[in-house]
Amino acid sequence: MLGEFFLNPVLPAQDGDRARAFYRDVLGLTLMSGPGDDPIFFRAGDGTSVLITEMPDRRPPEYATISFMVTGIEAIVAFLESRNVLFELPDSLSFSGVEGSVAGHVVDYGPVKSAWFRDTEGNILALNEIVTDDGSASS
């Protein structure tokens, strides 16, 4: 029944204006709500979206709450670094029993490459690139 309805994650923000600027100006998402609205609604690729709402007393979890499915992860990491995004490695480099190999900020698990960073509000966001059997990115 719910499969026919729009779905979007909701993330907490300590400071709505700061979060709005990060998602719009740093990540390049399209702001769909008004300049001072709360909640703050953003559109991303392929009809996806995210909602940010100011909740000063709410702390984000210590795991990724959003994953951007990307191609060309290394170039995206470099672009975001040029915009002062700070990447971090997870506590464990193992995923589904596979130990990942680290190259800069990207962890290669074989079938997927991943990188993680925090937004201005402390939410952990992931970049994931699915890799085909021949080692190329899947689109």
For residues 105 and 70, what is the distance between their CA atoms, to the nearest angstrom?
15
The string of pLDDT tens digits covering residues 10-19 is 999 999 999 9
pLDDT-based confidence at residue 132 (cuts at 50, 70, 90) = confident
pTM of the model: 0.88
Report pLDDT for 138. Answer: 60
- pLDDT on residue 139: 55
CB 64 within 8 A of CB 127: no
Q: What is the pLDDT of residue 135?
A: 59
pLDDT value, residue 136: 61
User: Please, are residues 117 and 124 in contact by the beta-carbon 8 Å criterion?
Assistant: yes
List, in sequence order, the alpha helices (H) in the chain.
16-21, 73-82
Mean pLDDT of 9-29: 96
From the centroid of its chain, how far is CA 76? 11
Q: What is the pLDDT of residue 137?
A: 63
Q: What is the pLDDT of residues 108-131, one digit of tens each?
A: 999 999 999 999 999 999 999 999
Task: Give pLDDT tens digits for 37-74.
Answer: 999 999 999 989 999 999 989 888 989 999 999 999 99
pLDDT digits (tens, 9 = 90+) for 76-94: 999 999 999 999 998 777 7
Residue 3 reports pLDDT greater than 80:
yes
Q: What is the mean pLDDT of residues 17-38?
A: 95
